[in-house]
Amino acid sequence: MKTIISYTVILSLSIIFTSCAWFSKEQDADGTDKYILAENYVSQGISHFKNEEDSLAVVSWQKALQIIPDDAEVHNFVGIAYHKMNKIYEASRAFRNAVKNDSSYYDAANNYGYTLFLLGKYPEAKEAFNLAVNANPQFEPALKNLKLVDKVMTGSLNIKAFEYAEAAADKEDYQEQIDIYKRAININPDYAKVHNNIAVAYYYEGMNDSAYYHLQQAVRLQKDYPEAINNLGYLNKIDQKYDIAIQLFLKAISLKPRYISALNNLGETYLEKGDKANAIKVFDTVLDLDSSDKTAQHYMAELKKEGE
């Protein structure tokens, strides 16, 4: 179980694989139901997308849009596929169409802002992120992306450092990640999120001293950074510095109250310290937030067995 986490720009580039029940049942004069045909095209596109056949997914969704041109969700789907294909201009147009058809569609507005950001259109990206936040003031991806674009626009974040950070996050090999994150830090030494991410890579490479150093830098640079605080707590936990770990997890949770990873880490720390009563309270809280959480389920089952 990975309880130490990295961080990149949080996006809403995902598709919920559900049936397309939003279509009405109007029929053409010849008796055919064109909306059923559109629904079939959308379903075909989702199947292609799940099978990593992104170009075929786009073809299917564009056929659907010939029938339902004002469907914002399908335009968003097209944008997601184009983004996966690294066709940023095409993705941006698709997301723009989604927002044009539904200005309250905050996922699409965030996605549109992200592609504008990638295209270097920072004021327009900020406008799109603001649109997403206006539609949903609690939408964390857009809130974080707003902070990102502000940093770039004010010069506190070098765009080349950001590009290195994104490239590193795409690598599966941790040593490769470390090498690229170092380039980002050389350009932008105060880039807190890169310090967090390189710390994660160092941790998985077994270099905990370096992980400690960079997490401490991340927290120094950004005191309200729950992910870095949680990760620093985790390192203290595995070093059996339980009191320090508990305080760090509690701080992370105070900044991000529904932070399940930090809650589970806190519960595990209480258990390792021998404080079963507090561990039960924490895991109960996790299950109240997410009844399907496997970590909390596992520990509660174990605690129940011990109590029998």
Range 280-286 average pLDDT: 96
Task: Check: pTM over 0.85? Answer yes or no.
Answer: no
Length of the chain, please? 308
Residue 4 lies in a domain: no
- Shared domain for 236 and 307, answered yes or no, is yes
254, 252, 250, 306: which is closest to 277 by C-alpha? 306
- Shared domain for 144 and 116, answered yes or no, is yes
How many angstroms separate the Cα of 15 from the Cα of each of 50, 141, 197, 254, 269? 9, 15, 26, 31, 36
C-alpha dihedral sign at 219, 222, 223, 227: negative
Round to whole Å and give the CA distance between 66 and 103: 21
Q: Which helix (H) or strand (E) holds 245?
A: helix 242-255
Query: What residues contact 272, with CB distance under 8 A and at least 6 apart?
Result: 237, 240, 242
Domain housing 91 = 34-154
When divided into structural domains, the chain yields a total of 3
pLDDT digits (tens, 9 = 90+) for 141-151: 999 899 999 99
pLDDT digits (tens, 9 = 90+) for 73-102: 999 999 999 999 999 999 999 999 999 999
- Shared domain for 38 and 62, answered yes or no, is yes
Q: Reply yes or no on whether the pLDDT at 132 is more than 80.
A: yes
Range 41-65 average pLDDT: 94
Per-residue confidence (pLDDT) for residue 264, from 0 to 100: 97
Contact 194, 184 (CB under 8 A): yes
Output 30 or 167, whichever has higher pLDDT.
Answer: 167
Give helix 140-154 / helix 106-118 axis angle, nearest 10°. Answer: 30
Residue 15 lies in a domain: no
- Percent helix / strand / coil, the chain, rounded to 5: 70, 0, 30
The residue among 219, 251, 266 that closes a domain is: 219
Residue 264: which CATH number? Answer: 1.25.40.10
34 pLDDT band, cuts 50/70/90, is: confident
139, 140, 110: which is closest to 125 by C-alpha? 110
Residue 110 lies in a domain: yes
CB < 8 Å & 24+ apart, contacts of 18-21 = 19/43
pLDDT digits (tens, 9 = 90+) for 157-189: 899 999 999 899 889 999 999 999 999 999 999
The residue among 131, 154, 177 that closes a domain is: 154
Per-residue confidence (pLDDT) for residue 307, from 0 to 100: 66
Q: Reply yes or no on whether the pLDDT at 14 is more than 70.
A: no
Q: Reply yes or no on whether the pLDDT at 30 is more than 50.
A: no
Range 213-221 average pLDDT: 97
Range 221-241 average pLDDT: 96
